[in-house]
Amino acid sequence: MTPAQKPIRQTLTLHDTVYETSFTKKFANRKPYAPKDPKRLTAVIPGLILQVLVAPGETVRPGQSLLILEAMKMQNHISSHDAATVKALHAAPGDMVMKGQLLVEFE
């Protein structure tokens, strides 16, 4: 058993009832959940930006392609979920992007 797998014991009180629980150090150090910000578009997979199809200040409609991201020899059209105005672009053709990296900001 690795140190990260060693269980951590802790008590939890809920409605005046005490419960004993255990979890791993990896679970204790996990990133907290943060809901997605609709004004920020991030990369869902790592890849290469082939083409940027919009510019700052441009109004986009739902489903409109914003950029083309190549990953594993496949071209993925990254599109807008909502109608919005592009505030800033954080990727340019030829950029390698990582999963979770900010690509486009909306107003």
The per-residue pLDDT string of the chain (107 residues; one tens digit each, 9 = 90 and over) reads: 666 567 788 888 889 999 988 888 888 888 888 888 999 999 999 999 999 999 999 999 999 999 999 999 999 999 999 999 999 999 999 999 999 999 999 99
- My answer on whether 96 and 66 are in the same domain is yes
Total structural domains within the chain? 2
- Position 35 in a domain: no
Q: Count H helices, E strands: the chain?
A: 1, 10
Q: Which residue range is the domain that position 77 belongs to? A: 40-106
- My answer on whether 55 and 98 are in the same domain is yes
Burial readout 63-80 (b: 16 or more C-beta within 10 A, e: otherwise)? eeebbbbeeeeeebebeb
- Position 92 in a domain: yes
Q: What single-letter amino acid sits at 68?
A: I
